[in-house]
Amino acid sequence: MSPETETRLAQVKKYSASLTTVFLFASLVLAFAGLIGLIIVLTANESQRIASTIAFGGASFTGEEITWTVKIVVAIGMALSVGIALKLLHHLAALFGHYAKGEIFTSETVRQIREIGISVFLFVTVWLYGLLAHYVLGVPGAVRQAAESGIEVRGWGVGLPEPLTVVLAGIMIIVVSWIMDVGRELREEQDLTV
């Protein structure tokens, strides 16, 4: 290995170790924020002093509109979103952990890239859940009524991804992992023949 290549590999290791730490820290913050968010949603309106408001997928529920059905549906949506985001962060941390060790083109790094693509693709389930939740909660009527009355409605904190963008991003990442796997296999074959 040339000195220039060794220098570049050392930089990759250094920055990858830093990114691994960032992704692990982000996972802890997200898990803590998700837990606090779930507690807030599930205890909304328990205090009679201040009427709570829960915004979900373009509709707001305030005061007595916040039934246990609304709380549970929103909590499941939050848990689903946070769970998928934690899976994504876990695979990013694992990928950059391998890079920090100097493992660039290995079957394990390819697997982590594939899992990242699958994780991105899974955000479509959040969008589908949002559609189902709107039906269960009767939100489409609430959104139409609010639009007609001029009331401003806002989405909940996590938001619903655009399904086409998420599907395309997930597929592209999975294809990149497949190409890297083919390249890894070719390199292994070449190393064996030399």
- Candidates 83, 80, 93; CA nearest to 17 is 93
Ordered alpha helix ranges (H), 43-162: 68-100, 107-137, 139-149
- pLDDT by residue (tens digit) across 149-167? 443 333 344 444 477 778 8
By the 8 A CB rule, do 24 and 32 touch?
Answer: no
Orientation of helix 68-100 relative to helix 107-137, angle to 10°? 170
pLDDT at 176 over 80: yes
By the 8 A CB rule, do 114 and 76 touch?
Answer: no
Q: What is the pLDDT of residue 51?
A: 63
pLDDT at 89 over 50: yes
Provide the token pair at 166. Answer: 């998420």
Q: What is the pLDDT of residue 52?
A: 76
Give CA angle at 180 (176, 182), nearest 5°. Answer: 115
The model's pTM is 0.79
Strand 59-62 and strand 53-56: pairing?
A: antiparallel
> How far, in Å, CA of 88 to CA of 72, rounded?
24
Q: What is the pLDDT of residue 155?
A: 39
DSSP reduced 3-state for 49: coil
126 exposure class (CB count in 10 Å sphere: 0-12, 13-18, 19+): buried
Calculate what percentage of the chain has a pLDDT beyond 70: 82
140 phi, psi to nearest 5 deg: -55, -40
- pLDDT by residue (tens digit) across 27-52? 999 999 999 999 988 888 776 566 67
Provide the token pair at 26. Answer: 């982000």
113 Cβ contact list (under 8 Å, min separation 6):
95, 173, 176, 177, 180
Q: What is the pLDDT of residue 139?
A: 67
- pLDDT by residue (tens digit) across 103-158? 888 889 999 999 999 999 899 898 888 888 888 887 654 444 444 444 333 334 44
Averaged confidence pLDDT in the chain? 81
